[in-house]
Structure 1
Amino acid sequence: MTRSPLFQLVFSIVVMVSVGQMAQTMFVPGMADMATQLKAEPGQLQAIMACYLIPYGLFQFIYGPLSDRFGRKPPLLAGLALFCLGALLATQASSLTQLLTATFIQGMGTAAAGALCRSIPRDYFEGQPLIQANAIISMAVMFAPLVAPLIGGLLAQHFGWQSVYWGLLVMGATALGVITLRYQESLPIEKRKPQPVLAAYRHVLSNRQFVCYMVCLVATLGGVIAFEAVAGILYGDLLGFSPIWVSILFILPIPGSLAGSYFASQCRSRRRLSAIAIATLGSGALLILVPALFDLLLAWTLVIGSILVFFSAGALFPTFTSKAVEPFPHHAGVAGALLGGAQNLGAGMITLVMSAIPLFGQGSIGALLLVTALMVSFALKFAGQEEATEDMSNSTI
């Protein structure tokens, strides 16, 4: 590809995926006002993120196979249109139930971008170029939900919480226009796969390395999303920061995320990258967990710990995503759907569970992040054993 088409491709992917990512957290600074107006408990509002992430995960399993059969662009346009409908309904919500329903529709729509942002790069790249392309996309995936609360905080403070969803509607319509006008179909008819859906999923899931990397990604995203879900409560309700300060504290992990993605794009040793990322994830988890063991709630440990966690996530997402989809040039839609669907469904379930149990300060999220680091470490070790076995088999042949 020439530089101009490559730029247009990455720009289109970043635009479409950023809108969906921003919807995860843009409402966070307005949660207190939402709880008051909708007559709900603050803790119940964690269900908003769950009702967004669960359909975001589930419907990726539909969009992925559809894109392998009919091309990438039609599902993208349909999904973004559905997202805009959900945002419009949210602006008119007068109860928590109505808001959760509108949020569910948003998740159904943006699932198209969530699945295909992993599939489209595989239509063009493999190897290190694929990691570099995914690193750029990963920056948007990590950056958008962190900067979104700053925008949401300004809107909520000056225009009310409904303005957050008006903002998302404008962003969704903009993304819909960009994809319509700028994105050129990346999967021509001759490369499309008319294989039955279940057979395609069996083919991808039969690859044990894929499953291992998928587990790593699910665990990592689950930890990140869980932190995002409780950070607003920790900073706002328990530490007493204003909505603007909550927004500022929310975006402080951005440098860590960007640094992790840049590190992934430059590091040639995947083993070294994985070791550093896992060690950083574990360190961040301990920094958040240890003060809670002494019944302390410290903002600086939350901030620094989150920076370390987001550095790790920024490094792991593009690396493991590329490693997982690379073996499937003809099933990239299904592979991308499995990765995105499992990640967001898992993260949504974790958030839903956390919304139903008491919050024990920063100890709850610290313990969860530590479990995440252990899960990634064990899954990656198993993936390495599978790679070594495969290499031995190939050399014997």
Structure 2
Amino acid sequence: MTDTAETTAPSRRAQLKFVLVLGGLSAFGPLSIDMYLPALPRMADDLRAADTTVQLTLSAFIVGLALGQLVLGPLSDAFGRRRPLLVGLALYVVGSVLCAMSPDAWLLVAARLVQSLGAAAGIVIARATVRDLFSGTAMTKFFSTLMLVTGLAPILAPLIGGQLLNWTSWRGVFVVLTAFGALLLAVVLFAFPEPSSSRSPARLGQVMRTYGRLALDRSFAGYALASGLLFASMFAYISGSSFALQGVYGLSPQAYSVVFGVNGVGIVLAGQLNGRLVGRVRERVLLRAGLLLGVTGGALVLVAAVTRAPLAFLLVSLFLLVSSIGLVMPNASSLALASHARSAGAASALLGVLQFVIGAVATPLVGLGGPGTAVPMAATMAGFAVLALVAYLTLAREVTS
């Protein structure tokens, strides 16, 4: 069997099970990052720590998420998906318990690092498992279905966290995350079969050669950079929109939450539209359309920020850019993984790491102009959207038979 061979799609009942399980695994990142954000001020007071120290809990999680994917992706190619996933889920549960029990901020930072290494297993192995189970348009359709979860999780996580704080402390948020991890651990242990039959060596030299081969694959690099750079535009939105919309345009926290939620729904709707169009429209065409939509939205956001256009103009522009994620991510992921069935774990790891590393570069740029302007955020969003389109056009080549 070659890397591009077609796989037999699971039954509809099995697909529903995989959507729920893989969707839950994909949600680890946004849930673990966003659910506790409303509690950061309380955590600083409770632990008698500086705000910057408590914010390191977020940085530690993102670093662990990136490093964990680089390690666990190739391990899942060597030992199958189940065993590394079970180890990762157990590590996540342990890390979550340590977070809930941490007596000071620095121990909490360390516990978040442990938690993130476990979360990385869920994210990277979920994406690789999709490649094991599907190929061609079926794979793209499934990635589009997963956008229901990956789009809704960032919307619901802060709302759930905020509601939890009405009747429990920030430690209770981590107790809920512990329960979530334990539930998925039980499901994977008792009801999740090993989806992959092929294996690749786990020797360090072989792993490094695999990463090198992937990095030098122009098509893979084009798809990975296109998704990673557009995701960085999304990172800029997440990190800067609250300051821009509340500080510059005067939105209340409640109104900002509504705007954030509507944009998240845009991702979901675009993802479902993509799922309906795949098969009738080629993935590359849909990917190009999503990137062009992102560039258009980014350019309009920049125009709105520079000219201080009415709020409605800015909101529509933001919706266009954020919604483009729902078109770009399923197609870019599917096309990037299509020719790498035997190294799907390593390929999935590089896809995920690029998203977080480039996003980490984009995040500090949004605050360069100070709190009184939305121009740095808009310029960062527009710039990374343009770079995403350029990466696709210059690197991603169509493979012909």
Question: TM tier, shorter chain?
Answer: 0.7 to 0.9
Identify the match of residue 74 of structure 2 among 65, 74, 81.
65
How far apart, CA to CA, are the structure 2 residues paired with 1:366 and 1:94?
Answer: 40
Say which is worse superposed, 5-14 or 39-48, in terms of deviation.
39-48
Aligned partner of 1:310 in structure 2 is: 322
Question: Which residue of the other structure, out of 273, 298, 304, is the alignment partner of 2:286?
Answer: 273
Structure 2 residue 194 is matched with structure 1 residue 185: yes
What number of residue pairs does the alignment pair up?
386
Greater mean alpha carbon deviation, residues 255-264 or residues 225-234: 225-234
Aligned pair partner of 1:251 in 258, 261, 268: 261
Letter in 2 for 1:29: P
Matched, 1:6 2:26: no
CA displacement at 1:358 relative to structure 2: 4.7
Contact kept, 8 Å, 2:248 with 2:374, in 1: the verdict is no
Specify the code of the residue in structure 1 equivalent to 2:302: L
Summarize the Cα distance change of 1:230–1:84 in structure 2 as closer, same or farther, 3 Å threshold: farther
Q: Does 1:339 align with 2:346?
A: no
Q: Deviations over 1:255-289 (max 9, x none)?
A: 21111111222231334423432232233324443
Q: Does 1:217 align with 2:230?
A: no
The 5 A counterparts of 1:341-380 are 341-351=353-363, 358-359=370-371, 361-380=373-392
> TM-score, with normalisation over the residues of structure 2?
0.86
Residue from 167, 190, 207 that aligns with 2:217: 207
Find 1:118's aligned residue among 113, 127, 134. 127
What one-letter code is carried by the residue in structure 2 that aligns with 1:194?
Answer: P
Deviation at 1:216, TM superposition (A): 0.9
**1:381 aligns with one of 385, 390, 393:** 393
> Could you tell me which amino acid in structure 2 is paired with residue 282 of structure 1?
V
User: Matched residues in 2 for 1:160 and 1:300: separation?
Assistant: 37
Q: CA 1:246–1:282 in 2, change beyond 3 Å: closer, same or farther? A: same
Counterpart contact for 1:286–1:370, Cα < 8 Å: yes
RMSD over aligned CA atoms reads 2.9
**Conserved? CA contact 2:27–2:153, under 8 Å:** yes
| 8 A contact 1:46–1:355 mirrored in 2 | no
Q: Separation in 2 of the partners of 1:141 and 1:114?
A: 11
1:104 aligned to which of 103, 113, 124 = 113
CA distance in 2, matches of 1:86, 1:245: 34
1:49-198 residue pairs with structure 2 within 5 A? 49-188=58-197, 191-194=198-201, 196-198=206-208
Kindly state the Cα deviation for residue 15 of structure 1 after the two structures are TM-superposed: 1.5
Equivalent residue, structure 2, for 1:20: 29
8 Å CA contact 1:135, 1:262 repeated in 2? yes
Q: 1:255 to 1:354 in 2, by over 3 A?
A: closer
Q: Summarize the Cα distance change of 1:275–1:132 in structure 2 as closer, same or farther, 3 Å threshold.
A: same
272-281 or 113-122: bigger deviation = 272-281
- 2:343, 2:146 → 1: CA distance? 20
CA distance in 2, matches of 1:234, 1:36: 26
Within the candidate set 264, 268, 290, 2:303 is matched to 290
The answer as to 2:271 corresponding to 1:264 is no
- Residues 243 and 157 (structure 1), Cα distance of their counterparts in 2 relative to 1, 3 Å cut: farther
Q: Which amino acid aligns with 1:330?
A: R
Is the partner of 1:330 in helix, strand or coil?
coil
More divergent stretch after superposition (107-116 vs 84-93): 84-93
Give the 3 Å change call, closer, same or farther, for CA 337–38 of structure 1 in structure 2. same
Deviation at 1:144, TM superposition (A): 0.8
Give unpaired runs (5+ residues) of structure 1: none
Which of 223, 227, 240 is residue 230 of structure 1 equivalent to? 240
Structure 1 residues 193-248: Cα deviation after superposition (integer angstroms, max 9, x where no partner): 22621222233233110011111111122222332233445566777767655544
Amino acid in structure 1 at the alignment position of 2:222: C
Structure 1 residue 341, shift from structure 2 partner = 2.0
Aligned counterparts of 1:327 and 1:368: Cα–Cα separation in 2: 32
Deviation at 1:61, TM superposition (A): 1.0
TM-score normalised by structure 1 residue count: 0.86
Deviation at 1:80, TM superposition (A): 1.5
> In structure 2, what residue type is equivalent to 1:198?
M
Q: How much does 1:148 deviate? A: 0.8
* SS at structure 2 position matched to 1:59: helix
Counterparts in 2 of 1:235 and 1:322: CA distance versus 1, 3 Å = same
Percent identity, aligned pairs only, is 25
| Matched residue, 2:7 | none
Please state whether the residue corresponding to 1:252 is helix, strand or coil: helix
